[in-house]
Amino acid sequence: MIVVSDTTALTTLIKSRLEHVLPGLFGEVRISQAVAQELRQFHPALPTWCLIEFAKESPLLDVLRIALDAGEAEAIALALDLQADFVLLDDKKGRRQAEALGLTCLALPAVMVAAKRQGLISSVAEAFAILAAKGRYGVAASTAIELLRSVGEE
């Protein structure tokens, strides 16, 4: 399985000390050079399961760089280059761009649900609380309720 990530998902999980769910779910996670640079601004050591790859320069990448930040643009371009199964993106604008290009996006709430189903975390509600407190990542109440119900945490 090939998974590419943008900066937000990784930095939020690292700050929340929940990054272990990614290698547990996907093994390796590929990141672009721009994502690696953005991560290193706040986290001097990148996880060993993050593989840095270069997004190929292309007219599409140039267009994406105009519409999105460098990390999102390169993550989408890299996901296309690698024919990734998933791209981890939480920004709505980035997800819309990626999905319009045929990519399958996962946001952190869906990752937490998958982590619970795989036994990597014990509670999605607790994970959401940790993401909010430590990662400053909010999940909309209606989304949280729906996802908690899906894993039997009503």
Q: Which band of pLDDT confidence, cut at 50, 70 and 90, is reported for residue 44?
A: confident
Helix (H, G, I), strand (E, B) or coil at 100: helix
Structural domain including 89 reads 3-108
Contact between 106 and 86 (Cβ < 8 Å): yes
pLDDT at 135: 87
Helix (H, G, I), strand (E, B) or coil at 120: coil
Based on the domain organization, do 102 and 119 belong to the same domain? no
Based on the domain organization, do 56 and 87 belong to the same domain? yes
Report H helices in 16-107.
21-26, 33-40, 59-67, 70-82, 92-100
Based on the domain organization, do 79 and 135 belong to the same domain? no
> pLDDT tens, 98-146?
999 999 999 999 999 999 999 999 999 999 999 999 988 988 888 899 9
Rounded to a whole number of angstroms, the distance between the first and last alpha carbons of the chain is 31
Final residue before a domain boundary, out of 74, 89, 108: 108
pLDDT at 95: 93
Based on the domain organization, do 89 and 134 belong to the same domain? no
Q: What is the pTM of this model?
A: 0.92
* Domain count of the fold of the chain: 2
Based on the domain organization, do 72 and 132 belong to the same domain? no
CA distances from 130 to 15, 86, 115, 117 (A): 9, 24, 14, 18
Contact between 78 and 94 (Cβ < 8 Å): no
Which residues are within 8 A (CB) of 131 and not within 5 positions of it... i.e. 6 or more apart? 12, 16, 18, 108, 112, 137, 139
Q: Which band of pLDDT confidence, cut at 50, 70 and 90, is reported for residue 154?
A: confident
> pLDDT tens, 45-97?
899 999 999 999 999 999 999 999 999 999 999 999 999 999 999 888 999 99
Based on the domain organization, do 63 and 115 belong to the same domain? no
Contact between 86 and 74 (Cβ < 8 Å): no
pLDDT at 46: 92
Q: Which two tokens stand for residue 93?
A: 């604008």
| Dihedral sign from CA coordinates of 130, 136, 139, 145 | positive
Based on the domain organization, do 44 and 79 belong to the same domain? yes
Based on the domain organization, do 20 and 92 belong to the same domain? yes
Q: Which two tokens stand for residue 141?
A: 């109440």
Based on the domain organization, do 66 and 103 belong to the same domain? yes
**CATH number, residue 86:** 3.40.50.1010
Based on the domain organization, do 12 and 28 belong to the same domain? yes
Based on the domain organization, do 137 and 83 belong to the same domain? no
Based on the domain organization, do 97 and 115 belong to the same domain? no
pLDDT at 71: 93
Helix (H, G, I), strand (E, B) or coil at 103: coil
pLDDT at 101: 96
